[in-house]
Amino acid sequence: MLSIAVAAILATATAAVADPTRVTDATGRSIQLPAKIERIYAAGPPASVFILALAPEKLIGWSRAPRRDEAAFLPEAFAALPELGRLTGRGNTANVEVVMRAKPDVIIDIGSTSATYVTLAERTQQQTGIPYLLFDGKLADTPRLLREMGHAIGAADAAEALARDADARLREIASRLSRVADSERVRVYFARGPNGLTTAPRGSFQAETLALAGGSNVIEPPADFAGNLLSVSLETVLAAKPDVIIASDPTFASTIRSSPGWRELPAVRAGRVHVVPDLPFGWFDAPPALNRLLGIEWLTRIFYPQLFPEPLGPRIKTFHRLYYHREPSDEQVRELLEIAGVQR
């Protein structure tokens, strides 16, 4: 009888310790969650993409509503969700009153876990009484992040399926890229914005896609650099002599071949200037979420076609079906491949 009583006490203690409604986020804060989560407020665009992938029925609105061309790649019910604004990052457009009116069970943010974002999370939670989870958004850790979020919001099965897909893809890509010596890596410049002179330097959060695809980022950050994006001069780009240019702005990319200075670059002379597709989300950094997984697969085919001979089109269909819950049409796939500068 005594052993039975002891076992019962231990079982109760274990259940208390392993409280499924208490989660520790990336900041180390232990947060009590509701027993059932049905309404999630995404604090910024990265969280919107992750929630769409894991539990779209729980997403109550977008940081920025999808444009018409973006919405065409999403299930109609989710594309039509309202725009609630963003709580975090540059150009935040929401506030405590907006959050309260939306009546979420939890607020989720994904990205930087610096002191600024921790303070915002703690302040918002104190003001609203709504649990606020902040997760580290490193691209290489996407499988872990999917599992952590899935556990927190009651979507563990969906999270496990996506995490296995992401993990398998990242491992296969890393395995193939291990055959490329550092000295043989393709030298790449990321041209952001209408003049191409904003970039994401080596090691920055915004340049993770490039690094995981095996590109050698030609822009080193200054010694005192602590951000993500950097303004550079044309002279700096000319001195770097990139083999490939990845551009975020299609107008810039279309004029670069006739622009003084730019046209002298090896990448431009060889016609190796590619525009980042951005439907329904960017493949490089807009937003910096799991949508970038597709960007890695795109870039590896541009940088090392001999190592990645498989056509990208079928993977686009699979990725969209798994993560965005709508398989694109053949015409939509052709549109994306044309933007990306890939034949198939």
What the chain holds in terms of domains, given with CATH numbers, is 18-170 (3.40.50.1980), 180-340 (3.40.50.1980)
First to last CA, the chain: 70
Q: What is the mean pLDDT of residues 120-132?
A: 91
Query: Around Cβ 305, how many Cβ atoms within 10 Å?
Result: 10
Provide the pairing of β-strand 106-111 with 187-191: unpaired
Q: What is the mean pLDDT of residues 145-168?
A: 97
Instruction: Quote the pLDDT of residue 19.
Output: 58
Q: What is the mean pLDDT of residues 5-31?
A: 61
Distance (Å, whole) CA 215 – CA 274 = 14
Who wins on pLDDT, 89 or 26?
Answer: 26
Instruction: Quote the pLDDT of residue 91.
Output: 60
Where are the alpha helices (H) located in the chain, listed in sequence order? 2-17, 45-54, 68-71, 76-79, 96-102, 115-128, 142-153, 156-177, 208-212, 234-240, 250-255, 266-269, 292-303, 312-319, 330-340
Q: Write down the pTM of the prediction.
A: 0.90
For 295, the token pair is 């960007």
pLDDT value at 1 more than 60: no
Which residues have C-beta within 8 Å of that of residue 43, sequence separation ≥ 6? Answer: 63, 86, 87, 88, 107, 108, 109, 132
pLDDT band at 7 (very low <50, low <70, confident <90, very high): very low
Q: What is the mean pLDDT of residues 62-72?
A: 96
The percentage of residues in the chain with a pLDDT greater than 70, rounded to a whole number, is: 92
Q: What is the mean pLDDT of residues 255-275?
A: 92
Instruction: Quote the pLDDT of residue 246.
Output: 97
Instruction: Quote the pLDDT of residue 119.
Output: 87
pLDDT in tens, 294-314: 999 999 999 999 999 999 999
pLDDT in tens, 167-218: 999 999 999 999 999 999 999 999 999 999 999 999 888 899 999 999 999 9
Residue 89 has φ and ψ, to the nearest 5°, of 85, -175
Instruction: Quote the pLDDT of residue 258.
Output: 87
pLDDT in tens, 69-87: 999 999 999 999 999 998 8
Supply the mean pLDDT for the chain: 90
Structural contact between residues 292 and 283, judged by C-beta atoms closer than 8 angstroms: yes
